[in-house]
């Protein structure tokens, strides 16, 4: 019998992305989705992750468990600290989507570039890198940059403009770092742009790496993370 996992999203467009990844890498698990775009919108509006939003994230995690989830993946990096705060009280595996990406970045180079399209995502990603690096006795150099106007373009339906802004951000950063992480799952589609092939350094995005890391932590999968 298939086991149940929950995805908590703040961007509706990510639902089919993660359902496809679950079908590919977790065929014995059946996902259901919880989507609340206001979690991200309020964080953007406030300029930070507030205690009220953190409590709402915790409520959704509790609801997912009550709904039968045996594992939960949160697909928004901006609310990552709320996941960390809720984890000690969650009776099932609870994972941030960016953990696998960050772990791979730490094994790839000492100079890690972070690109985001939202200022609210930069600090949580930097903090996660530092936290997991400290756990490994490691002190990387982090260079964080914001892709100006990229998120506004995506929100307006201009995917090409969004992707171009990310490509330009990579071009401005690539000479300074050994690896670049794209801080938001919504940036992953841009990573398939052929212009990235010219960078010569790894460009990491969170959805696939997040699912693989998630799989490695699930009970009964018997599969280690295959970060490629």
What is this structure's pTM?
0.90
Q: Write down the mean pLDDT value for the chain.
A: 90
What DSSP character marks residue 79? G
Q: Can you give the pLDDT at residue 164?
A: 87
CB crowding 81-107: b at 16 or more within 10 Å, else e: bbbbebeeebebbbbbbbbbbbbbbbe
First-to-final CA distance of the chain: 30
Domains of the chain (ranges; CATH) run 3-97+208-217 (3.40.50.1860), 99-206 (3.40.50.1860)
Nearest to 210 by CA among 170, 183, 179, 177: 183
CA angle 32, 131, 54 (to 5 degrees): 45
94 neighbors 74 (Cβ within 8 angstroms): yes
pLDDT tens-place string over residues 103-132 = 999 999 999 999 999 888 999 999 999 999
């Amino acid at each position: 019998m298939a086991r149940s996992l929950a995805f908590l999203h703040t961007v509706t467009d990510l639902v089919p992305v993660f359902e496809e990844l679950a079908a590919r890498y977790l065929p014995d698990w059946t996902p259901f989705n919880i989507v609340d775009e206001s979690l991200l919108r309020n964080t953007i509006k406030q300029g930070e992750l507030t205690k009220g939003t953190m409590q709402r994230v915790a409520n959704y995690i509790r609801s997912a468990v009550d709904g039968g989830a045996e594992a939960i993946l949160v697909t928004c990096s901006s609310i990552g600290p709320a996941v960390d705060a809720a984890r000690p009280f969650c009776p099932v595996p609870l994972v941030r989507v960016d953990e696998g990406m960050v772990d791979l970045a730490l094994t790839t180079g000492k100079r890690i570039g972070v690109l985001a399209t939202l200022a609210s995502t930069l600090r949580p990603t930097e903090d996660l890198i530092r936290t997991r690096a400290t756990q490994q006795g490691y002190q990387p150099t982090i260079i964080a940059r914001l892709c100006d106007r990229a998120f506004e373009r995506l929100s307006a339906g201009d995917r090409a403009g969004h992707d171009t802004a990310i490509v330009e951000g990579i071009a401005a950063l690539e000479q300074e770092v050994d690896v670049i992480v794209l801080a938001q799952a919504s940036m992953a589609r841009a990573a398939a742009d052929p212009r990235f092939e010219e960078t010569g350094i790894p460009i990491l995005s969170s959805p696939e790496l997040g699912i693989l890391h998630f799989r490695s932590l699930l009970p009964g999968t018997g599969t280690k993370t295959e970060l490629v």
